Amino acid sequence: MYNNKLGKVKASMIKERKDIRNVAIIAHVDHGKTTLIDGMLRQAKIFRSNQKVQERILDSNDLERERGITILAKNTAISIPDPETGKLIKINIVDTPGHADFGGEVERILNMVDGVLLLVDAAEGPKPQTRFVLKQAIAKHLKTIVVINKLDRRDADVDRSLNDTFDLFIELGAEDEIADFPIIYANGIDGTSGDTPELTDDLQPLFRSILKYIPCPKVDADAPFQLLVTNLGYDEYSGVTAVGRIQSGKVKSGQMLARIKHKGEVETDQARYLYVFQGLEKVAVDSAEAGEIVTIAGLKNIAIGETLADPENPVALPVIHVEPPTVQMTFGVNTSPLSGIEGRWSTSRKLSERLTQELRTNIALKVEQTDSADMYLVSGRGELHLGILIETMRREDYEFQVSRPEAIIITDENGIKKEPYEEVHVDIDTDHVGVVVEMLGTRRGKMVNMVNNPDGTVHLSYIIPTRGLLGFRYKFLTATRGMGTMNSFFHGNDVLADKITQRQSSSIVARASGMTTTFGCKNAEQRGNLFVGPGVEVYEGMVIGESQRPQDLSINVCKKKHLTNMRQSVRDLDERLTPPRDMSLDEMIEYIGPDELLEVTPKNLRLRKRILNTHDRGRHNKTERYDED
């Protein structure tokens, strides 16, 4: 029921749109969501027969391809014939990221769909993020089809994976209707599926199951228009576009709309272009009705979470809820001696504009002013969430400096200080159990479970303060020789744990600015592991290595060998230098000490002391030692 402009009350007419299904694919990281969509697109014949199609086609941005993970949720659509009527039915499919740091994407995407495909790797069974995404789907009463995927894996254990999945539904309190889920078995790589583990030759069983079990949208197309902007897309002509499901009513291309912003302000704007999804393309349409997922282009600075509505009836849809951020770091103007050389955008204004722009799409992110005009406090869902933003900005030619990530401490309604805790799950070889248990223990982790996996490895689960996990991943991988896997997700806020000793090592710091020399590096490497080799431009106060001593050490790595002693060739020395440790951005973010910053430019990443001048730093921090030259 609603009031139309004449003030009359009209009974709403809910009708089923049998021509559409809206479904999201959700799962733990790497359980095969994007690969399965490749198969669905291929078999719905959206490619030309001779078209070369790359794997995981929806993972289209550079960072997604490089890291092999989905970061942003994406829409696509296929049309398949209804087995009963032969009529084409459109399936809007939304791919979602599986990594816990991007859980915010999944939470909001579920607002667009009527059901989900929950993928479970047949060998791994349900994992921590399976639980998180299923919990979201259950909370929204979404019909769930369980897809036991990767049946081809030699270590697949279909019965166990299915039983564990069923237990998970019960544990999460799914109502009977949802806990009684249909099951499809699949091999996403081959594009085969079945109603039983005996797979057929294609994905028809999966398609049939979607048509049968995912409810069609039940909507009122005669009510005033309402759409919640749930995702943003990009259009060559008009830039950023709004993506969302028409909740009620109709929209026409070119029509005037009310835009209800986050704080409730209402503006009038025009839906210049209107598109629907078809395969990997967007197709322009003149109009669309409730139940369909559309893209609207031409709305300036549109942001996720705004409602687009009928100008005569501008009623906002409920705001999108996402879990709060847990980790924060500062983003500031680059103050290193090399600032302004390597990046195009480096001013405080540019940095502020870029971060503000990010807030429109990245809704789990928060940006606040600090006391300094040149520095912003940026909060996110984890180190990877913030790391991806840093990497994206440096590729867009920004340069800036960031501080070490810190867990966000909150004060609850009773005035008690609380910090975020995470549930951590690790799978490791038996040999590494001792060292990992010790590492997690010193970080104030509490073990909640320890079981032997069928493959001989051990599964440990812990509740641990987020603070204890910062900087942990690299050490964990080193301790388990790269064989361990680790997943963590937000558990809740709780009272502050005791002190956690963060980094036990210290930094080797450049004492002078200039070009590093083989001689200088040779000298320095006796004190620890270097991050730079010879011939690298460094500046006073730049961190160039790590030592196991309790205090930092300043060394002149630009020192030249005295000319009288030139007999030994440079080559000889070069060969004897240990290769420097080449750290990725993620490792550097983990490494940054409390009195350090990371300088980020499109060309380089440099760790540095907050106070660059050696003597000033010495006065500030009496414990640092110099290596006298």
Ligand X SMILES: Nc1nc2c(ncn2[C@@H]2O[C@H](COP(=O)(O)OP(=O)(O)OP(=O)(O)O)[C@@H](O)[C@H]2O)c(=O)[nH]1
Task: Give the interface with ligand X as residue ranges (CB under 6 A).
Answer: 27, 29-35, 56, 69-70, 97-99, 149-150, 152-153, 187-189
| Helix residue ranges per DSSP H, 369-413 | 383-395
Cβ neighbours of 388 (radius 10 Å): 25
Give the DSSP letter of residue 345: B
Find the part of the chain contacting Mg ion (CB under 5 A) among 62-70, 105-113, 402-410, 542-550: 62-70
Q: Which is nearer to ligand X, 188 or 533 (CB)?
A: 188
What is the rounded CA–CA span in Å between residue 604 and residue 586? 14
- What would the DSSP string read from start to end of 264-305? S-EEEEE--EEEEEEBTEEEE-SEEETT-EEEEE--TT--TT
- Of 85, 310, 303, 90, nearest in space to 220 by CA: 310
Q: Which is nearer to ligand X, 29 or 536 (CB)?
A: 29
What is the rounded CA–CA span in Å between residue 368 and residue 17? 43
Closest approach of Cβ 449 to ligand X, in Å?
Answer: 24
Q: Which is nearer to ligand X, 156 or 607 (CB)?
A: 156
**Hey, CA dihedral for 360, 366, 367, 368, is it positive or negative?**
positive
Contact present, 38 and 53 (Cβ < 8 Å): yes
Q: Which is nearer to ligand X, 31 or 511 (CB)?
A: 31
Number of residues lying near Mg ion (CB under 5 A):
3
Please state the φ and ψ torsions of residue 128, each to the nearest 5 degrees: -50, -45
Q: Which is nearer to Mg ion, 33 or 425 (CB)?
A: 33
Q: What is the 3 state secondary structure string of 478-528?
A: HHCCCCCEEEEEEEEEEECCCCCCCCCCEEEEECCCEECCHHHHHHHHCCC
What is the rounded CA–CA span in Å between residue 47 and residue 185? 25
Closest approach of Cβ 331 to ligand X, in Å?
Answer: 26
Partner touching 346 among ligand X, Mg ion, none, CB below 5 to 8 Å by kind: none
Q: Which is nearer to Mg ion, 93 or 436 (CB)?
A: 93
Name the burial class of residue 268, with classes exposed (0-12), middle (13-18) and buried (19+) by CB atoms within 10 angstroms of its CB: exposed
Cβ neighbours of 564 (radius 10 Å): 6
Q: Which residues, at least 6 apart from 338, have a Cβ–Cβ distance to it below 8 Å? A: 537, 539, 599, 601, 606
Find the part of the chain contacting Mg ion (CB under 5 A) among 26-34, 186-194, 242-250, 270-278: 26-34
Find the part of the chain contacting Mg ion (CB under 5 A) among 29-37, 299-307, 556-564, 572-580: 29-37
Closest approach of Cβ 184 to ligand X, in Å?
Answer: 12
31 binds Mg ion (CB under 5 A): no
Cβ neighbours of 617 (radius 10 Å): 19
Find the part of the chain contacting Mg ion (CB under 5 A) among 31-39, 144-152, 445-453, 618-626: 31-39
473 binds Mg ion (CB under 5 A): no
List binders of Mg ion among 34-53 (CB under 5 A): 34
Closest approach of Cβ 70 to Mg ion, in Å?
Answer: 3
129 binds Mg ion (CB under 5 A): no
Q: Which is nearer to ligand X, 93 or 408 (CB)?
A: 93
70 binds Mg ion (CB under 5 A): yes
Residue 86's region, left for phi above 0, alpha for psi from -120 to 50, else beta, is: left
Partner touching 596 among Mg ion, ligand X, none, CB below 5 to 8 Å by kind: none
| Token pair for 342 | 């390597």
Closest approach of Cβ 58 to ligand X, in Å?
Answer: 8
Partner touching 187 among ligand X, Mg ion, none, CB below 5 to 8 Å by kind: ligand X
| Token pair for 231 | 């995702």
Q: Which is nearer to Mg ion, 93 or 309 (CB)?
A: 93
What is the rounded CA–CA span in Å between residue 36 and residue 91? 14
CB-nearest residue to ligand X:
98
Partner touching 612 among ligand X, Mg ion, none, CB below 5 to 8 Å by kind: none
Q: Which is nearer to ligand X, 17 or 150 (CB)?
A: 150
- Judged by CB under 5 A, the residue of 33, 354, 467, 511 near Mg ion is 33
Closest approach of Cβ 390 to Mg ion, in Å?
Answer: 21
Closest approach of Cβ 389 to ligand X, in Å?
Answer: 17
Q: Which is nearer to Mg ion, 68 or 535 (CB)?
A: 68
Distance of CA 448 to the CA centre of its chain: 26
522 binds Mg ion (CB under 5 A): no
Residues lying near Mg ion in the complex (CB under 5 A): 33-34, 70
